[in-house]
Amino acid sequence: MTQNNAFRLDDRIAVVTGGGAGIGRGIAETFALAGARVIVADLDAAAAQLTADAITEAGGQAHAVAVDVSNEHEVIALFEQVIGQHGGLDVLVNNAAIFPKKPFLEVDTAFWDSLQAVNLRGTFLCLREAIRHMKAGKGGSIVNISSVSSMQAVVHHNGTYNATKAGVNSLTRTTALEFGPDGIRVNAVLPGGIPTPGARTASAAIELKGPIMGEGRIPLGGIGDVQDIANAALFLASPASRYITGQLLAVDGGFLVS
């Protein structure tokens, strides 16, 4: 029996946005364990550095970069820096997002725009810049972190966020179609409720225990964790999924089919 290396990312250059905390940190650490050189890009420079240090101390390769994904100049500079310092780009994970809630009738344009700016424009900007470089290089694989909330309302007062994630799904499919011929695959992971620093502050943890998103509605039982999402992202980033593009993979214990 020979070893199956299809799930490895040896010598791949991978950018993970929002890699300083929660799901992004789990993805960064998992990719590094699989052999990737990981660029941990986060608004919170100290958090990005902590993730990169943890990876390096464990024997992996990582670099921290401070970036606001909603800022066009910073995103352009991020990818130019990656190409300049590391010589290429193989994998992008669009993970950075914010998820404050507001009752629909209280949503003003400032609130609406703030979520669109990070979750949808940020994803668009990183996609555009990464694809530019991947197209000029050897192609690549992109994983967008969406949400089950893009498919079902799930919890109250989350409509602005849900709309951004539905947009992420649409971008996933349209870029997969357009850039497949360039050897660029684009897929999305749709996590169910996962305990993370962000989810806790957004009080999502309350809903994880509640009747709507509660454990009773999850066929596999119980709440998933960061590693469940990171494993799915690794599959979609790696050659193991080389014939898969444009897919929306829910990692939710079966929540969406319940």
CA distances 176 to 3, 107, 142, 147, 149, Å, are 30, 32, 9, 18, 21
Based on the shown chain and the rule CB under 6 A, indicate whether residue 253 belongs to the binding site for ligand NAP: no
The answer to whether residue 161 is catalytic is yes
Size of the site for ligand NAP (CB under 6 A): 32
Least distance (Å) between residue 133 CB and ligand NAP: 19
Residue 48: φ, ψ to 5°? -60, -40
**Residue number, 20 or 140, with CB nearest to ligand NAP:** 20
- 3 state SS of 216: helix
**Residue number, 139 or 256, with CB nearest to ligand NAP:** 256
- 30, 49, 95, 187: which one contacts ligand NAP (CB under 6 A)? 95
| Binding piece for ligand NAP, criterion CB under 6 A, among 29-37, 80-88, 195-203, 230-238 | 195-203
* Burial state string for 181-215 with b = 16 or more CB within 10 A and e = fewer than 16: eeebbbbbbbbbbbebebbeebebbebbeeeebee
Based on the shown chain and the rule CB under 6 A, indicate whether residue 167 belongs to the binding site for ligand NAP: no
156: left (phi over 0), alpha (psi -120 to 50) or beta: beta
Based on the shown chain and the rule CB under 6 A, indicate whether residue 70 belongs to the binding site for ligand NAP: yes
Could you tell me the two tokens for 112? 């609406």
Based on the shown chain and the rule CB under 6 A, indicate whether residue 65 belongs to the binding site for ligand NAP: no
Based on the shown chain and the rule CB under 6 A, indicate whether residue 224 belongs to the binding site for ligand NAP: no
CA distances 227 to 36, 74, 122, 125, 161, Å, are 17, 29, 24, 27, 23
In the window 175-194, what residues touch ligand NAP (CB under 6 A)? 191, 193-194
- 9, 39, 118, 218: which one contacts ligand NAP (CB under 6 A)? 118
Instruction: Provide the CB-side half-sphere exposure for 24 (13 A, CA).
Output: 33
- Which residue, judged by CB position, is nearest to ligand NAP in the bound state? 198
**Residue number, 100 or 182, with CB nearest to ligand NAP:** 100
**Residue number, 137 or 195, with CB nearest to ligand NAP:** 195
- 3 state SS of 93: strand
Least distance (Å) between residue 192 CB and ligand NAP: 6
Considering the candidates 79, 99, 124, 161, report the single residue annotated as catalytic.
Answer: 161
Give the integer Cα–Cα distance in Å for 197 and 51: 14
Could you tell me the two tokens for 236? 């979609």
**Residue number, 191 or 253, with CB nearest to ligand NAP:** 191
Residues at the interface with ligand NAP (CB under 6 A): 17-18, 20-24, 42-44, 47, 67-70, 95-99, 118, 122, 145, 147, 191, 193-194, 196-199, 204
